[in-house]
Structure 1
Amino acid sequence: MRPDQFTRLNYSHCGPHGLSEGERIVLWMLRQWVTARVLGQEPGARLSREAGTLVSPRVAAAFILMMTAIEGQVRRPLCVSAPCCKGYAEDEQRLVTACGVCPASPEMAGRLLEALVVMPESVTVSARFLNMALSHEGKALPMRFDEPETPVAPVKRPTLH
Structure 2
Amino acid sequence: MLSFAEQMLLWSMRIWVVGLQKRIPVGEKLHEAYSRAGAPRAVGLVDNLMVVVGHGAIRQLDINCPCQKGLSEDERRILDLAALYQGGASLEGPLLLHSMLTETACRAAGGILRDIGRVFSDAGMVFPPVDIPPERAFGHSREATLHAGSATLH
TM tier relative to shorter chain: 0.7 to 0.9
Match of 1:35 in 2: 18
Q: How many residues align?
A: 129
TM-score of the aligned structures, taking structure 2 as reference length: 0.75
> Is the Cα–Cα contact under 8 Å of residues 15 and 65 in structure 2 kept in the other structure?
no
- The whole-number CA distance in structure 1 between the counterparts of 2:57 and 2:83 is 20
- The whole-number CA distance in structure 2 between the counterparts of 1:129 and 1:107 is 18
- The whole-number CA distance in structure 2 between the counterparts of 1:146 and 1:90 is 13
Once the two structures are superposed, residues 53-92 of structure 1 have per-residue CA deviations (whole angstroms, 9 ceiling, x without a partner) of 1123211111112112222311122201221111000110
Paired residue secondary structure (1:133): helix
Give the gaps of 5 or more residues in structure 2.
134-151
- The whole-number CA distance in structure 2 between the counterparts of 1:116 and 1:40 is 25
Out of 67, 90, 101, the residue aligned to residue 117 of structure 1 is: 101
Correspondence 1:9-158 to 2 at 5 A: 18-41=1-24, 45-46=25-26, 48-56=27-35, 57-102=40-85, 103-119=87-103, 120-145=106-131
Q: Which runs of 4+ in 1 moved over 4 A?
A: none
Paired residue secondary structure (1:72): helix
- The whole-number CA distance in structure 2 between the counterparts of 1:98 and 1:25 is 14
Once the two structures are superposed, residues 16-66 of structure 1 have per-residue CA deviations (whole angstroms, 9 ceiling, x without a partner) of xx210000101001101111122023xxx51x3112111232111111121
TM-score of the aligned structures, taking structure 1 as reference length: 0.72
Once the two structures are superposed, residues 111-151 of structure 1 have per-residue CA deviations (whole angstroms, 9 ceiling, x without a partner) of 1122221122221110111111111111122221168xxxx
The RMSD of aligned alpha carbons is 1.9
**1:51 partner letter:** L
- The whole-number CA distance in structure 1 between the counterparts of 2:47 and 2:90 is 20
- The whole-number CA distance in structure 1 between the counterparts of 2:23 and 2:59 is 19
Identity %: 24
- The whole-number CA distance in structure 2 between the counterparts of 1:130 and 1:87 is 23
Paired residue secondary structure (2:60): coil
Paired residue secondary structure (2:99): coil
